[in-house]
Amino acid sequence: MGLPALEVMIVQPTEAPSTLPTGRLRAVLERVSIQSLLFQLRAFIALIILFLFFWYKLPGIWVKSDTLIIMTKHVAQNALLGIGATYVILAAGIDLSVGSIVGLTGMVAGALISQGLKLPLFGVIVYFHVWVIILIALLVGVLIGLINGILITRLNVAPFIATLGMLYVARGSALLLSDGQIYANLGGSPDLGNTGFPTLGAGTFLRLPYPIWLMIIFTIIGIFVAQKTPFGRQVYAIGGNRRAAELSGIRVKRLLTLTYMISGFFAAMVGLIIASLLVASHPDAGNTYELNAIAVVVLGGTSLFGGRGTIGGSIIGAFVIGVLGDGMVLMDISTFWQTVIKGIVIIAAVAIDQLQQQLQERAALARSQAQALQTSQSPTAGH
Amino acid sequence: MAVGQAVDDRVRLDDAILSASQITKVYPGTVALDHVNFNVYHGKVNVLVGENGAGKSTLMKILAGVEQATAGQLIVDGQEVGIRSPHDAARYGIGIIYQELDLFPNLNVSENIFMAREMTTRWGTIKHRAQEAFTRNLLARLEQPIDPRTHVSDLRVGQQQIVEIAKALAEDVRILIMDEPTSALSATEVSILFRIIHELKSAGVSIIYISHRLEEVLEIGDYITVLRDGHLAAEAPIETVTLPWIVEKMVGHSPTRQLDGREHQFGSEILRVEGMTLPRHGGGFVVDHITFSIRAGEILGIYGLMGAGRTELLECLIGLHPEATGKILLDNRPVRGNSIAERIRAGLMLIPEDRQRAGLVQTMSVAHNMTLASLQNYLRWFFLSNRRELQNVQRLIRDLAVKVSGPQQPVTSLSGGNQQKVVVGKALLTAPRVLLMDEPTRGIDVAAKDEIFQIMSQLAQQGLAVLFVSTELQEVLRMSDRILVMSKGRITGGFDRSEATEEALVEASAVAHGPASTGGDDRATN
């Protein structure tokens, strides 16, 4: 028999012996060729080139800690949205309601700070502590994500349609909340014990504003969850082949719903950051941010068909958009041109992606056909 | 080597309107056709038979221009031609009725029949009225009073098949390929089809007729060609052959059973299935009250033709169809929970028929595919332990002899056989008690098939129960301790290893295809 005995095969996973397997390093080395390395780092390389370009064009202005911190602060919003959107898109979904959730959660926070929660039954108005308000706003984001997920997985509404509808519903709700008005002066009042909200956007730790810290922390968590947890692995599997994932016992519907809840969570966080930065909540905040989130993810090399991509890529994508945007502003390029250039960059990035993939697939197919012909010809040569 | 009538063929070759000569077709990992000759005689019904995987469909796809041969020639009217697209095939008058229905369910009958050949006015708009009149005439000829404006999705499968046939007739074909045209037809519809075939013959149309139903073939055919494992096994005029002869040529002379040296000692009953039923859309049952049991260490083979409900039975067991009813008992305890996750935890695991669509996640590596169904086993706190994953993956790569350069290799770069081993590895890592294998050797080469069989034997020896579905007679006979035959959703035969013969299996698999039962069913739904 050609096979060794399969004695341990149906035993549960064995405990690790003390020696480390050598397979890992070997496998890493096998995968790395200069060409594929360059390809995998293409977004990063593009980022460095852009950065150097603006350094050259904006001497003395670009590489200054103030400029860089402001730019990174801008990047943080897109990056946070991008983390949520990456999970959704990795699972072959799409979330268009992100921008509206940003607006609605900002308004919820604004209303709770400036008006409190009226409880007519008891004839009282409750003013919450800022931490509680932040928690409530985040919960609203997660809840909208849950509704998106239920619509998509239980009622079988296409993700595009379900979240498009939610885009309108959430934006409308944000406008309804204040009758279209702005909640200004979100500083809170010491009498009510709800001060401190502006700190979220403006406060710093080790010279870096809190939004940047949030980006750093959640990027690390996001990468770990995607790469090192069953949830992350299963999200990749669902995006790669939903049926195979289902037959492997993955609870596809539950996991898909979770991805939309994550997306809602990050949208709410960005909503809070914006309201805090402006010390006011505007019902129009976050308009079209869903498109930024998708652009960031796609620039980072994640496939809209699902299954391929990384959180790290999306963060780099956010930096590409941020560097490009701030650089062009500092160079006094008209905002109209800025928009056009952003669009071109996104299209070019994805077009290059597709081209490269086609080339790889064609090469793989040619290889396997050549192999099959070789093996088939040798035994039948005597015919 | 088995071309007995070679001399005869030369003589009659003048009559061949189309001949395929020395056709070879290679797919990644397998050779589907190996120097096959096939002749289509003018105005005759040219029957093509062979077991599943013998290469019939591939050969037809080549004639219809859907696929191109790797090597070989096609000769139409004595001229060598290249058929590179379905459009080319149409130019030579070759039409095909596919086994899988090929209609647009969202369009009506006449729109389907005139698809891409619409009758148009000089303004470029469609002449619906003229198309519908034409369709109505055509359907009247087929004795099918279907309104041309009916949406195809509203038709029964049998009626859809008739529309397929009408579509091919509307194209004025000289050579008509019919791939299992009767698989969905009732007895009455079959007799209408046969009348149409006679009409076509007298109008000079040559027909290529593929079927599993051998009695039918003897009734309608003029010439028969038998393929086996991608080779030409025999060609003969139908009046010179008998049913046993066809079966013998299909099956070949190789020993039907290679004993695998396994001790056939079974433990206690592990799985018992009672009254498993899956209703069909629009009446009837795909899986019709199936009851059976399987013991530890036993390989239970399920044989049946396409559409017998074998795959669906396995799908019911793994929990893919929540609407299925019936009892599943594992170790005499009912399995609760309808979800796939719960069934896997209970100890069932499916190795699906379609490796690409249901077995593998193509975007992932070998390692990630293998551990996908058992991720909870590699957890360290909340995180997956790379080390534990790799250990298990490497153990299975070794035990199953998967040919990979490393666990991180993309799964799509493996050959069919090695991909299948990855799917088997994924199943084994869930520590199953009952392994459900649906066509485990489909689309993989002979050597890899043997390896998969060895793995099955060894697993059974370790006490797993293996439920194994196949359309290939020899596989079922070779591997099974016990064989159940399914037809039209029901079990129509049960055989022990000692008493099973090819003839008995083939006979049992054709039960319920007869006129009596199907005719009755159809009248009920009509």
Q: Out of 3.30.1200.10, 3.90.226.10, 3.10.129.10, 3.40.50.300, select the CATH number for domain B255-347+432-526.
A: 3.40.50.300
Interface of A with B in 18-57 (CB under 8 A): 20-21, 23-24, 26-28, 30-31
Residue B270 phi, psi (nearest 5): -100, -50
Angle of helix A98-114 versus helix A130-153 axis, rounded to 10: 150
Percent above pLDDT 70 for chain A: 84
Report residue B133's pLDDT band, with 50, 70 and 90 as the boundaries.
Answer: very high
DSSP assignment of A271-306, as one string? HHHHHHHHTSB-TTTTTTHHHHHHHHHHHTT--TTS
What is the layout of strands, in order, in the sheet containing B16-27? B30-41, B16-27, B71-76, B79-81
Q: How many CB pairs under 8 A join A and B?
A: 183
- pLDDT over threshold 50, residue A2: no
- Best of A241, A247, A303 to disrupt the B interface (most B CBs within 10 Å) is A247
Q: What average pLDDT does the segment B293-320 reach?
A: 90
- pLDDT over threshold 90, residue B475: no
Lowest mean pLDDT among A170-179, A362-371, B513-522: B513-522
Reading the block at residue B335, the tokens are 């399995």
Strand partners, B383: B380
The pLDDT value given to residue B309: 87
Q: Among B321, B296, B293, which Cα is nearest to B309's?
A: B321
Report residue A320's pLDDT band, with 50, 70 and 90 as the boundaries.
Answer: very high
The pLDDT value given to residue B260: 52
Q: What average pLDDT does the segment B459-473 reach?
A: 89
The CATH number assigned to the domain with range A42-352 reads 1.10.3470
Lowest mean pLDDT among B264-273, B506-515, B516-525: B516-525
Q: What average pLDDT does the segment B359-371 reach?
A: 94
Alpha helices in B330-445 (DSSP H): 340-346, 366-371, 386-399, 416-428
Mean pLDDT, chain B, rounded, equals 84
Q: Would you say A298 and A317 are in contact if contact means Cβ atoms under 8 Å apart?
A: yes
**Does the distance separating the beta carbons of A10 and B462 come in below 8 Å?**
yes
Q: What share of chain B is helix, strand, coil (3-state, %, to 5)?
A: 40, 25, 35
A354 or B131: whose pLDDT is higher? B131
- Which tens digit of pLDDT belongs to each residue from A342-359? 899 888 888 887 787 777
Please report residues of B whose CB lies closer than 8 A to that of A371.
28, 415
- pLDDT over threshold 50, residue A163: yes
Task: Say yes or no: A251 contacts chain B, CB-CB below 8 A.
Answer: yes
- pLDDT over threshold 50, residue B100: yes
Lowest mean pLDDT among A203-207, A218-222, B31-35, B247-251: B247-251
Please report residues of B whose CB lies closer than 8 A to that of A13.
374, 377-378, 388, 391-392, 429
Task: Cite the beta strand spans of B399-508 per DSSP E.
Answer: 434-438, 465-470, 482-487, 490-496
**Cβ atoms < 10 Å from Cβ of A154:** 10
- Write the single-letter amino acid at B396: L
Q: Which of B31, B363, B396 sits opposite A308 (nearest CB)?
A: B363
- Best of B1, B357, B361 to disrupt the A interface (most A CBs within 10 Å) is B361
The answer to whether B1-91+181-253 and B255-347+432-526 have equal CATH topology is: yes
- Which tens digit of pLDDT belongs to each residue from A233-286? 999 999 999 999 999 999 999 999 999 999 999 999 999 999 999 999 999 999
Q: Would you say B181 and B212 are in contact if contact means Cβ atoms under 8 Å apart?
A: no
**Does the distance separating the beta carbons of A251 and B341 come in below 8 Å?**
yes
The span from the CA of B496 to the CA of A310, in Å, is 54
**Does the distance separating the beta carbons of B390 and A368 come in below 8 Å?**
no
The span from the CA of B88 to the CA of B91, in Å, is 5
B70/chain A closest Cα distance in angstroms: 9
**Does the distance separating the beta carbons of A307 and B361 come in below 8 Å?**
yes
Report residue B406's pLDDT band, with 50, 70 and 90 as the boundaries.
Answer: confident
The pLDDT value given to residue B9: 45
Q: Would you say B290 and B317 are in contact if contact means Cβ atoms under 8 Å apart?
A: no
- pLDDT over threshold 60, residue B141: yes
The pLDDT value given to residue A76: 95
What is the layout of strands, in order, in the sheet containing B348-351? B348-351, B434-438, B465-470, B299-304, B482-487, B490-496
Lowest mean pLDDT among A14-18, B268-272, B367-371: A14-18
Q: What average pLDDT does the segment B314-327 reach?
A: 92
Give pTM, 2 decimals: 0.77
Interface of A with B in 256-295 (CB under 8 A): none
- DSSP H/E element including B72: strand B71-76
- pLDDT over threshold 90, residue B55: no
Question: Cβ contacts of residue B266 below 8 Å, gap of 6+?
Answer: B295, B296, B297, B298, B481
Interface of A with B in 50-109 (CB under 8 A): none
- pLDDT over threshold 70, residue B395: yes
Report residue A370's pLDDT band, with 50, 70 and 90 as the boundaries.
Answer: low
Q: Would you say B47 and B211 are in contact if contact means Cβ atoms under 8 Å apart?
A: yes
Percent above pLDDT 90 for chain B: 35
Report residue A228's pLDDT band, with 50, 70 and 90 as the boundaries.
Answer: very high
Mean pLDDT, chain A, rounded, equals 85
Reading the block at residue A306, the tokens are 């699902």
The span from the CA of B327 to the CA of A280, in Å, is 61
A255/chain B closest Cα distance in angstroms: 13
Sign of CA dihedral B412, B418, B421, B425: negative
Residue B126 phi, psi (nearest 5): -80, 135
Nearest residue of chain A to residue B393 (CA atoms): A13
Report residue B120's pLDDT band, with 50, 70 and 90 as the boundaries.
Answer: confident
The span from the CA of B397 to the CA of B406, in Å, is 9
Q: How high is the ipTM of this complex?
A: 0.81
CB neighbour class for B31 (10 Å; exposed up to 12, middle 13-18, buried from 19): buried
List the domain boundaries for chain B: 1-91+181-253, 94-172, 255-347+432-526, 358-431
- Which tens digit of pLDDT belongs to each residue from A32-54? 556 666 666 778 888 999 999 99
Helices (H) and strands (E) in chain A, counts: 15, 4
Q: Would you say B465 and B433 are in contact if contact means Cβ atoms under 8 Å apart?
A: yes
Which fold would CATH assign to domain B1-91+181-253?
Answer: Rossmann fold (3.40.50)
Strand partners, B236: B224
- pLDDT over threshold 50, residue B256: no
